[in-house]
């Protein structure tokens, strides 16, 4: 579940988890009755852009026998990508991942990028 940040009047950040995006309130009531407003800036700062990269993606992988074919295809499309012997592409960063998926006609509906 995604983590959302809320800031109270004193500037303290409180984190909450919500499973459905439609349920994310712009303001929450803390245990002591104080209100805290959603802080988008704190949400961005909590996950560094370099965290989790490089990323080996099993979901956009191919059969192991097609690993070389995928590597060559992406290279021809201008997105050179390392592909594991098992057929899983290794993305260097979010931008590289987005470009590689687009080159294959794919996209991630739940992506952060």
Q: Is the pTM of this model over 0.75?
A: no
pLDDT computed for residue 42 by the predictor: 79
CA–CA–CA angle 27, 31, 36 (5° rounding): 25
CA separation for the pair 15, 1 (Å, rounded) = 12
pLDDT value at residue 46? 46
The domain limits of the chain are: 3-45, 55-103
Gyration radius of the chain's alpha carbons: 19
Successive 10-residue mean pLDDT values, the chain, 113 residues: 83 85 87 92 65 86 96 96 96 90 87 54
3-45: CATH number? 2.20.28
Number of C-beta neighbours around residue 19 at 10 A: 8
Neighbours of 76 (CB within 10 A): 10
């Amino acid at each position: 579940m995604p983590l959302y940040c809320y800031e109270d009047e004193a500037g303290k950040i409180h984190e909450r988890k919500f499973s459905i995006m439609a349920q994310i309130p712009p303001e929450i009531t803390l245990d002591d009755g104080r209100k805290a407003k959603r802080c988008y800036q704190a949400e961005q700062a909590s996950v560094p852009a370099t965290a989790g990269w490089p990323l080996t993606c099993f979901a956009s992988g191919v059969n192991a026998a097609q690993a070389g074919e995928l590597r060559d295809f992406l290279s021809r499309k201008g997105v050179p990508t390392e592909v594991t012997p098992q057929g899983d592409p290794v993305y260097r960063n979010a931008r590289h991942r987005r470009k590689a998926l687009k080159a294959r006609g794919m996209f991630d509906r739940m992506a952060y990028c």
